[in-house]
Amino acid sequence: MISLFRKIRQKLLEENKAGNYLKYAIGEIFLVVIGILIALQVNNWNEQRKDKIKSYSYLVRLNEDIDLILADVDNSLKGAERKLISSIMVQKALEAKDLPKSEKEHFDRYLNEYHQFYVTIQDSRTYIEMISASGINLIENQWIRNAFSSLADYREFIIDVNRANRDAQMQNSQVFEAYVRYRFENALTDSAVSIPYYDFEAMATDEKFINRISKQSRSWNVILNMFKGYNSQVLQIRDSVQSELKKFHSKGFQ
């Protein structure tokens, strides 16, 4: 093509057709510019296609992360609910100064777990990767981008609250240690079990001890509601991510 242009240009010069040559030169420049623009557009389309593929891949992985997060939060919800119920039943038994055999299991479980506030929550590894690789803007849906950012902040807040409650409980562990000691059954075996031994009557006459348990019940209630709120946010994000994936599928992405 370049050789053809050169021959035409040379012929026009030899024939001394300056006007025609000028028109030809302008046309040649125009064709070159058009060619460059087409090449740039093709390159731009290729880059956009690559970004679309990467965006789709991120959405698929985010959707997989959400399944893991939901499973983890479900366990945390159940654990918080169990501990809330146990602490409420323990408080009721102490206030009634009566521990029925049917309630003893809850009482023993509570004494074994009273300090276990610290909870970890599965995070989105894909989101962290996207942030570190500056790939978050590949997700076109701004609501999803903001939602994952908000979710990450909420996760850290829940962990901090759990850590603070655990630390506070450990600092006040002497309140429980005054009445409880632990013994092991089947020690040094795979079936080793810690059994709490306690003076129920002494506990039931200690108002400060009962107040401590009531405060812990309130803490577990707050934490339980936080997990419910977190779970609700994750479900909303899952619906939005899956909606975006459907748009990709309608365009042939698989």
Which pLDDT score, from 0 to 100, does residue 21 have? 46
Q: Do 245 and 63 meet the contact criterion of CB atoms below 8 Å apart? A: yes
How many domains would you assign to the chain?
Answer: 1
**186: confidence class by pLDDT, cuts 50, 70, 90:** confident
Domain span at residue 36?
2-250
Q: Do 86 and 46 meet the contact criterion of CB atoms below 8 Å apart? A: no
Mean pLDDT score, 69-87: 90
Q: Which two tokens stand for residue 65?
A: 């992360």
- Which amino acid, residue 120? T
Of 147 and 175, which is predicted with more confidence? 147
**Using one digit for the tens of pLDDT, what is the confidence trace for 219-249?**
889 999 999 999 999 999 999 999 999 998 9
Distance CA 75, CA 242 (A): 23
